[in-house]
A and B are shown apart, each in its own frame.
Chain A
Amino acid sequence: MIKFFKVKSFKDFHDHYLFWVKIFFLSLVIFGLIISLFISPADYLQGDTVRIMYVHVPSSWLALQIFAVMGVCGFITLIFKTRVFTLIAKSIAPIGFTFALISLFTGSIWGQPTWGTFWTWDARLTSMLVLVIFYIVYIILWKIISKHSLAEKLTSITSLIGLANLPIIKFSVDWWHTLHQPATIKLTESSTIHPSMLTPLIIMFLAFLSFSIIIFLIRFKLESLNLKINSNK
């Protein structure tokens, strides 16, 4: 397992399989968009507005999951000083940032017709905004600190602190009164969504996930080459 986490293995994966991941992504996203926009039924209460969910929910999930991966990578970087995890975290940060922005943006255009407001300071929305700020701080730290070893340390600490925000986002809807509704898809109980609407949601999630993998592979190769150039200087 540890052997797999080498710079070379990711680069090899990029060189050999990137094309197939792209094909996989394209077929999923086309298929997913067709079912989510045309085939899946409208909601009994919200009507067609519910289709925003098929973009909003996968992006929110990925924004959280990517930050979780960054936090774990930050932990390993700080304790075990293995460079490859720094590179992983650095390459996926902009992806998670983009998904967090998409989540906020689609959430606000979903909120207007259903709740009657674009934005409100309830716990879920506020904690999600905090996540976006953590992403911004993380990315900016990489940009402004030119010394790699220092940047590595500070960004890892940032991602570890940000990790504390994730359970707050996840459970904000249970801990506080929020305008945002509680989770629909639960790990322990049965989900409160009809299968005909769950299917496009899962497919769109897989599509977004494979998109993240594409961008990650490209960015990882780029970052590892950058590191090599800078350390040879």
Chain B
Amino acid sequence: MTPPDRRIVPASGEVAADRARGRLLSASREASLRRRLAARDERALVELVEIATPWLLGLVGGMLSDADEAEEVVLEAFARAWDKVGTLEGGEQDGLIPWLFRIARNRAIDRLRRRARRRAKYVRAEAAGALGSGKVAPLEPNEAAQPGWYVHTQVHAALGALPAEQREAVELAYFRGFTHSEIARQLAIPIGTVKTRLRLAFDKLRITLGPIKDWVP
């Protein structure tokens, strides 16, 4: 698996302005992007790709442990988003970026499920050292200009507040795409314990991530 590259992607115009504030996408900017995407403005697509691609590659690459396949999934996700963004236009509660995350993550899960030899994922992930906390580590403070840094640090604080065993279960389930039984095998604990840890963890995360859901500049 390709190790994470922490260089900051060059940006211009509005992207750079939001980046300077350490935010992924302001509410007014998101509203504007939605309108322009729905109107088939190709420049809006370029902007969305610039903003979201590094995070999508980080998410999907971590799940698939395969950089090439991750790029394919990200490409598919943008194609799907471009086709369906008109249906999202009125859905103000569903943020543009979380929606894109969900599309990409579902695509990655589909690929994981389709793999004939699921065991190979374990081997690749273990060999690449992807299990555990390696890929969901916080960014360094000097990367505060990275778009989304604010949200990233908030999510990390929420994950960091979880007991270690619950955080581990979330990482394996949500960020690696493992099922209950796979996590139980990986951690050598009963399935019931896995279910309880995940349920408790998500109950807490819903509360701590709530303010981010409603975030406005």
**A and B associate in one complex:** no
What is A's interface to B at a CB cutoff of 8 Å?
A: none
Binding site for A on B (CB under 8 A): none
